[in-house]
Amino acid sequence: MENKVALITGASRGIGRAIALKLAKDGFDVMINYAGNEAKALDVKAACEALGVRAEIFQANIGNKDQAAELVQATVDAFGSIDVLVNNAGITRDNLMLRMSDEEFEDVIDVNLKGVFYLTKAASKLMFKKRKGKIINITSVSGVTGNVGQVNYAASKAGVIGLTKTVAKELASRGIQVNAVAPGFIQTDMTDVLGEQLKAKIQENVPLKRLGQPEDIAHMVAFLASDAASYITGQVLHVDGGLVI
């Protein structure tokens, strides 16, 4: 039997890398999307192939409609289909609202929200024909609670939650499941810039008293991508150590 195919955006590092490796371990062939660091993407490709699956890389800014379409087509050309789409790619341009430029706001919305829309729309057309598929969107606790200095990021991630619930309703009759995972503070390049003192303060506010690891998110994505989650759709699953209890 041929392996199922997963397309993961932003998969060259951090959470995306962990998701690609976990799905490869579970037997998925993977398309690794990256924005700029080809060397890191190639490292992920090699690690996935070492697990016995096929893997390819493709550079694309998913906030660009044409590049998003090219990414989906490249996945079909390489593997023949898309069974699971993981919309993981995201950027930050933090600033207080009154200091935030239009460009800082628009850049984040373009990648984090519009990119999810472009890829979901393109991939779901393929899934329609098979009457089966899974779309898993990576949102954030910031999209649920808001966060000072992240009006753009929080708005984009809240938008992903609304998109997830709506698309889940629209595609359910076609056998396509759409869910979201909301990470809390995860130990990645994105949180490394916060500094040890701030990270310690954040950790103190987490009921489990630790930051999450990328693998914590990857395990939840793998569950949603599996047959074990065949009756789950339209949900936002928090993987945050209890941060937003």
Establish how many alpha carbons lie within 13 A of residue 192's alpha carbon, considering only the half-sphere containing its beta carbon: 5
Instruction: Tell me if residue 58 falls in helix, strand or coil.
Output: strand
Instruction: Tell me the catalytic residues.
Output: 153
Residues 156, 137: Cα–Cα separation, whole Å: 12
Q: Are strands 84-87 and 55-59 parallel, antiparallel or unpaired?
A: unpaired
- Tokens for 129, please give them: 């024909």
Q: What angle do CA 189, 54, 226 make, to 5 degrees?
A: 75
Of 187, 201, 75, which Cα lies nearest the Cα of 127? 75
DSSP 114: I
